[in-house]
Amino acid sequence: MEMENDPNDQTGSYVHAGEAFDRDMNYIPDRITSDGSSPWPAEAGRYRLAVSRACPWANRTIISRRLLGLEDAISMAIAGPTHDKRSWTFDLDPGGKDPVLGIERLQQAYFTRYPDYPRGITVPAMVDIPTGGVVTNDFHRITLDFATQWTDFHREGAPDLYPEAQRAEIDELNHWVLHHVNNGVYKTGFAGSQETYEKAYTDLWESLDVLEDRLSRSRYLMGPSITEADVRLFPTLVRFDPVYHSHFKANRQPLASMPNLWNYTKDLFRTPGFGDTIDFQHIKEHYYVVQTDLNPTQIVPLGPDTSIFLEAHDRDRFDTDTWGPGGTAPLPPKADEVVDPAHTPLHVTGR
């Protein structure tokens, strides 16, 4: 692929020689709430969730929205898998514009509210449809608020992803997973020296070993039922062998060789609301085309064979109440949100 004048060439954006990777964790702190505590009330049809299926941070919001049945209350704008230094773009839509927001770039929603917005244009982002301005891009809070502030719009049988009795433990686990696993793969892949790489690599694998052990005792991270903790871990695990193992040099072993983590990943992949959000082609195109610091040729690998995600798992051996008391599986995805069957081994029919 010719690099000269390539808008996707972002050499120098991710890896800085001699330095450890340091993610900017400063996000727009606004929240959409149902209790009057913010100027953004939870209202059906008012907000649009901007995502890319390639991004693991956005993936968690897509999963949460599916599990809770918020598709009719919160519409979704899907950006393409690649972007330039300016912004994610809506190049998948006819005419290259999001049909609801009427914009070509997510950047436009940020600049509508903050003309001099100084930070990265990130997904996920909640956008206020009437004004066209971004409300928040705080991926940590968005899913928690989906679970707690949008309850009036949850589907019948929606799981309690953030049960009050477990919130302190979920928060502690999520904080640890964020820094050692979710972001740990990036610290490994974007390390700017051998020393920082080895430090991040060692921490990542020690952390995965901890999770391997934890998942030897229960079907899900918090016990017999799915919670917010699973929603946050799955997007990293499902990307591990297709991308992080090779692209980020996180190559002690494939995830598929770790029995508990791998069977857990396969289990969730076949659970409605998880695997049906995964677009492997978008995932690979994003990492291998955009991150030219690591892959200057922008060649996208053909493998691995993703049909292995559909192989049998052994998680049924544990006590199981997947959806929690009174909970049920979500309906199939909306017809216009079904992942391209050429991009996934999991073929579903939309509603």
Selected catalytic residue, list 162, 186, 201, 264? 186
How far, in Å, CA of 128 to CA of 254, rounded?
Answer: 41
Between the CA of residue 48 and those of 34, 76, 214, 223, 226, what are the distances in Å? 17, 5, 36, 33, 25
Q: Dihedral through CA 172, CA 208, CA 235, CA 136, nearest 10? A: 30
**Is 55 among the residues known to form the active site?**
yes
- Beta strand 75-79 pairing with 47-52: parallel
Radius of gyration in angstroms for the set of CA atoms belonging to the chain, rounded to a whole number: 19
Query: Beta partners for 126?
Result: 49, 136
Render 73-106 in DSSP notation, one character per residue.
TSEEEEE-S-B-SS-BB-TTSGGGS-TTT--SBH
Contact partners, residue 46, CB within 8 Å, separation at least 6: 128, 129, 130
Selected catalytic residue, list 47, 55, 110, 244? 55
**Is 197 among the residues known to form the active site?**
no
SS3 126: strand
Query: Beta partners for 219?
Result: none
Active site residues: 55, 186
